[in-house]
Structure formats: C-alpha cells, structure tokens
Structure 1
Amino acid sequence: MPIDILRSDGDEPLRLRSDRSMQRIRRGAYVDRASFEALPEDARHEVWVRAVAAARPGAIFARESALALAQLPHGRPEAVFTIGDPGASGRRAGVVNAQSPVADVDVLIEDGIARCTPAAALAQLARVGRQIDAVSALDAALHRRIATKEEVTDALGRQGRRGQRRAEWVVAFADPLAESVGESFSRVQLHRLGAPVPLLQVRVQTRLGPRFPDFLWERPGRRPLGGEFDGAWKYGVIADANGVQPVDAVIREKRREDALREHIDTLHWMWDHVMQPTRLGAMLAQAHIRVRATLLPGW
C-alpha cells in the first residue's frame, strides 16, 4: 500500500476536513496530503481502490482497479471498478460495479482485498477499455511474467461476448519485449500511423558495448533506423541505476548514443509526440519510413 489511509467516524471528519495536512479521498477516508501529492499520478488510483476496500470489505475489484493493485499499468481511470455485486449497479460514489458474475478461479485475495486475477483483469480491460491502456498493461504483464497470453485468452472464455474481437486483437498485438508504458503507447500509435512493424530491442554491438534500441526498422538502400522513446524520467532512472549524478548520466548516455550512430540512424521522441501521433508520423516520414496520410481509428 503506497500510503496509510485514515478512516474516520462520528465527529472525526470535522477535524480532518479542517486539517490542511490531510487529503480527503472519499467519505470517511483521509490520507496525508504531502504523501499523496508526492505519488506519481498513475499510483494514486491504488489509494482510491484501497479506500473503497476499507469501506466495502466484500467488494471484488476489476479492470483497471485490479491492475492497480497488481502494480500493472492501468491508464488514468476516472472511477473505481468492482464486479459481481448483484445489489449494486451503475456508478455510485465514484465506484462502477458490473453485476456480471465472476468465476472463483478468476478471483484472488491479497492483504484482505479481493480482486480479479491479472489475467482476468487484463481480459476485462482489453474487452471494454482503451486500446492503448490495454496494450500497455498486457505488454507489462508479459514482460514481467505476471500473466501469459494463454491465461488471458482462457479468462476471456469465461467473460461476456462484448468486446471479444477487440480483446483478441490486444492479445495478438501484445509483446513482452516492450519495456515501458511509453514504448507500448508508441507501438499502438505506430500501428495507427500504418508504419511498418518495427523490431524491438535488437542488439547493436558498438565500440562501447551492446545497445538495444527500443525500435528498429530496416530501410532498403539506407542504414537501419532506430527509434527511442525518451520519457522525461529517463536520465534520472539511468543515474539511479548507476549511482551517478544526472548530469553525468546524460554525458554517458550521449557517448553511448554517438557510438550507436556509427551503426544506425536514430530518432528520439517523447510523450508529446506519442499523444499527438501526427507529429510522430511527420518524424518517421522525414526519416523515409512510410506512414498513412490519416490515422487508423483507435478505441
């Protein structure tokens, strides 16, 4: 659990509401404001889920909420998702419940909280969630060996017909070689752009050792083209992993990049290119990678 949730009853909420050091999560649930605000945005949903679990101990969490508890990517859900409660329907107090039954084999309990297994939650998200979120979640689950494609397909067979074809596409498209949410998002947008399918994490031997660009395209008559998704956190992660200052990490990474460019051309993009894929498409076209004039639709 990322931070402690304080439950309150009686007159306690009056004190907590006036305490500026506390953040109200939902009725009767508060957390330390500084700790909550320090959490990455994608980690805050788990706090909401655990607050609901404290208020509804019999709830079974599903979809993005189950994935958050499993520490898997889950997008930016605007509600907490539960399943299997025949007495609740629709959206209430920020919780969306699906009345459809869930098989015992698709439920597990950890820390006293019931949730769908990763495979079942991945299947649910692939059926009814955003394409880009479903791919990033399954990519991460495969990469970390939390679930297999076979397990997700098996769980799909116990769920409703709605969205089955969408889910089958996600399962087929997912790849364990994708190493971050940014790479997964990039893969979906490259698909929507109609770009040739890139190779992932191909080893390129340089004078400074092997490098593994996120993406690689062969270009007949030209040098191969590498593609790198650079999240804003990249150099901080590199620094932490090597115990060096960020500026030194930047210098070392620049030297490795120069060595890589002796063998292939490279493109770098960030979140703004991924979220505005026409910009990414323009970069690829300039690098002689064929893309579509119009984006394929997402869902």
Structure 2
Amino acid sequence: MGAQPDEWPWPDAPEPLPAPVVDNHCHLDVGIKGGLRIEVADALDRAAAVGVPRIVQVGCDLEDSRWAVEAAREFDAIVAAVALHPNEAPRLAETGDLDATIAEIDALAADPVVRAVGETGLDYFRTGEEGREAQHHSFRQHIRIAKKHDRALVIHDRDAHADVLAILDDEGVPERTIFHCFSGDAAFAQACVERGAYLSFAGTVTFSNAPELRDALKVTPADRILVETDAPFLTPVPHRGRPNASFLVPFTLRNMAETRGDDLADLCRQVEANTDRAFGGSWPRHQVRGT
C-alpha cells in the first residue's frame, strides 16, 4: 500500500519513548491521496522504532473507511475506525445518499478488524446552519451503530460542544467514547469525563497559542488520557507546518508529561492501558523489519 517512502518529507526522528504508546487516530490514506507517497510498512517501522508500534486508522467517508479495513486486514498493528465525517453528512443528504451510505458504514463496522465507529460528530466550523440537521441525524445513527456492534465511538467536535453533549445525553453515551483531538477548555473536559469519555490530545497541545487546551489536559484524570497524531495534520512543535506522522507522537507525549508534571514512562504506560480499554482490548505491536 503506497510506494517510494523516500518521497515523504520525513523530519528527523525524535528520541524514542521509554514505553510504547498507540497513535489512536491517524489518516495514512490522506497522505497518499494528497500526493505524499508513503509506504505503510515504512510508516509503521518509523513509528515502532520510537515507541509507537500500533495505529488506529480512521475513516472519514465510505472510501476511506473501506481503505482502513483493508489496511487493518493487511497489517496486524493497525485496527480500523469507520464512519462518515460530519462534513460529509450535508453533502450526502443533498444527493439523497446519506442513509444508504450510513448503512454501508454499519456493514463495515461488523468486521472484526474494526474497533471503532468514527470519526463522527458535529462540525460547525465548516458547515453552516443549513447543514446541521443532516449532521445531527448522521451523528445519532453513528452512535447507534457503535452500540450495536460494541465499538468505541470516536467523536469529531469542532465549535459544537453543547450540541455534541446534548445528542450524546439524548442517545445515551456509549460505554467507550473518545473525543478525538480534544479542543475544549478545562470545564468542557470535566463535562466529557463526567460522561465517562476518554480525551485524546493531538499536536495542538504543543502549540504556544493553546493554553486552554493544556489547562484541560491538567484536569483530565490520568485514566482518561489518550494521544494521537491526526496525521498528516496537526504536526506538533518543533515540526509544525510539515506533514504529520505517527513517529512524531513522542514530541506530543513529552509535552503532555511536562504540562502535567508526570513521569514520562508512567504516562506512557497509562496511555497505553487507556487505549486498550478504550478500543476494546489490545492488538499486536509492529516489529521493525530487519530487527
């Protein structure tokens, strides 16, 4: 899957983590579709070499979700999440294809390589009021699919905190719920944790203009913290502005440990255990080729 890894603009590798963690939200296929030629096995090698030997590959539309399932079938260190991104919902509603496409996501979610339904949720940044009804409908259906198949629910929430919580409360929060790329303040973090959710922090937590996000991290209980890349987006400092990849997780996690005053190795072990609980159990770690 993919080719010519030398064409990917890899930064230098960070110092390896003292204990392994999972990149619980990655879009390997987006880099490939965007013209960044990447071999998935090479991406796994680079990540495993610095202590990130497992990845959750996340779908944002039907094509992406099918790709995620195929990748998880090919690589034991990858599991899949399948869904329609909230910004897909209004587009599909306009063509009359929303419910039929959700039904195909439902069918994909039954595959044993799928550990989560996501990323779903609400996005009021890119979609105006005219698209909110479709987003709400799609989000509710994805919540029901997650419960039906006993999958984790992975939530995309952008500028929609109150409505995300309202729909979750109305539908009933799935047993395992993850706020991907958590973007709220300390008060919103506490509201999510009160509902039993895990909060996943991305490279944004390292940005100098994100003090409220670091405040949220400080008040999040240790057993509710996850780490992600959202690669190829949200690259952590010091490589902000370049494409992101799973092997850059150590920059984010070191910043998180420093922000919280945690021992890095302890935080790694906690995040690893949290991820296994959130995604319904462990799965194999990638072994770097040639070692």
TM-score where L is the length of structure 1: 0.32
TM-score where L is the length of structure 2: 0.33
Bigger RCO of structures 1 and 2 (CA < 8 A, at least 6 apart)? 2
